[in-house]
Every structure is written in C-alpha cells, then in structure tokens.
Amino acid sequence: MNNPIKNIFALPKGMLLFLGIYALSFPAIFLEAKLTGHSTVLHWLGLQPVLVWKGEIWRVLTFELISANVLGWAINLFWLATLINILRNDWTAPRFWIFCLVSAVGGAVPLLLIFHQTEFQVPVSGAGAIVCALLLAWEHFYRRERILMLGLGEVSVRQAAFFIIGLNAVISFFSCGGWPFTLSMLCGGATGWLFLLIGKKRVMSRGSRIVESQRVARLEL
C-alpha cells in the first residue's frame, strides 16, 4: 500500500525543506502569540506594503511561506504536500524554489500597488499564490491525464486543477482573508503560469536553433 508519510519524507531535501517551513509556520506563530501576546514571525516576515516600499523587500517572498490562519494553513498544507509529491520528478529542488518564489512575488505585486500608501497588513493565510501556481503547473505537465475526483467522477487534470482553483478562491474570499488574499492568490497563479510558458518557449527556441545548426552543418558537408 502507498504510504503518504513515507512519500513525504522521500521528497528531495529542498522540497521537503519548503514544506517543513510552511508546516511549522502556523504552530510557531500561534504558540508565540499565546505566550507573548504578539508574533515576531509575523512582524518581520508578513507583507506590509508600506514597509516593502521603504526597503524591506524580503517580505514579498516570505509572506507566502507563513500562515496565521488555521483554515488557510490546513488547506494549503494539504495541497502543497499533494502537489509537491506529484511534481517532484518534473523539477529539481532549486527550480522548484525559483518557481514558488516567482509566484510569491507575483502574488505580492498587486497588493503593493493597491495599498502602497496605507498601513494595511495583508491577511497572512499563507501559500495561496504558490498553491494556485502549482495547480497550474500540474495542469501544464499532466493536462491530458484523467483522474477520479470524489463527487465528480472521472475528470481531466485540467478540469480538476481549475475546479480546485475556483474552490480555493471561494474559500479564500469568505474565510481566509477576503478579496486581497484572493487577488494575491490568482495573480500569483498567473505569474507561475507565465513563468512556465516563457520556459517552454525558451526550450522550443533552443531546440529549433540546434536543429537549424545541425541542418547547416550537413549542408556544409
């Protein structure tokens, strides 16, 4: 029988590190807040647009790695574990990190533009943009495959991915941060999709150049 826990610990170390950081974020924030009445993690790593514009640019990366909302944390942790396990053979760990961080920046940009003059603290439900991007990556790599979904029966991976994105958007809007977090989630997903599209075009362009150079070499011979 397939053992999910064994599969998680068999992940490449870089991917396991990413999952571990996110998994520990909510317990750490919750316990610190209970003991001290505030959270240093949120204070230094949460997304506050005003502070980012003042130079604390690391926040556009770190805000997606933490969560202070138990529902958002649980949902995103489930999907992170599931999607990382599915995509583990499609990326190296460094490329996985790059993809996730690019998606995080994409999720931060609209909030930085909208709230750049306010003291707005972005709701810290964590990893919504990255999960959305990973769902689109799943669709990108496996769109032609078909799976069984509880309550829906047999569907394509494309249908499943977009259904889950829509469901997550509804949950985010009503329970995990409202429209700012939902906007961030969708923009991060779109950024991840563009990253994949650009990468695919670069590979195709490189391949066409190789074919053309081989053709020229044959003609010269």
The full DSSP string for 148-165 is EETTTEEEEHHHHHHHHH
- Do the bridges between strand 146-149 and strand 153-156 make them parallel or antiparallel, or are there none, so unpaired? antiparallel
- Could you tell me the pTM of the whole model? 0.87
8-state DSSP, 53 = H
pLDDT of 219 reads 39
C-alpha–C-alpha distance, residues 162 and 160, integer Å:
6
- For the stretch 147-197, pLDDT in tens is 988 887 899 999 999 999 999 999 988 887 788 889 999 999 999 999 999
End-to-end CA distance of the chain: 57
- Higher-confidence residue of 7 and 83: namely 83
Taking residue 196's Cβ as centre, other Cβ atoms within 10 Å add up to 17
The model's confidence at residue 205, banded by pLDDT at 50, 70 and 90, is low
**The two three-digit tokens of residue 185, written as one number:** 């989630």
State how far the Cα of 111 lies from the Cα of 63, in Å rounded to an integer.
12
Which helix (H) or strand (E) covers residue 147, if one does?
strand 146-149
pLDDT for 64 beyond 80: yes
Provide the residue range defining the domain that includes 25: 4-220
Better pLDDT: 205 or 220 = 205
What's the number of domains the chain is made of?
1
For the record, the structure tokens of 9 come out as 């610990």
40-57: per-residue pLDDT in tens?
Answer: 998 899 898 999 999 999
CATH code (residue 20):
1.20.1540.10
Average model confidence (pLDDT) for the chain? Answer: 87
**Hey, what are 169's tokens?**
């958007």
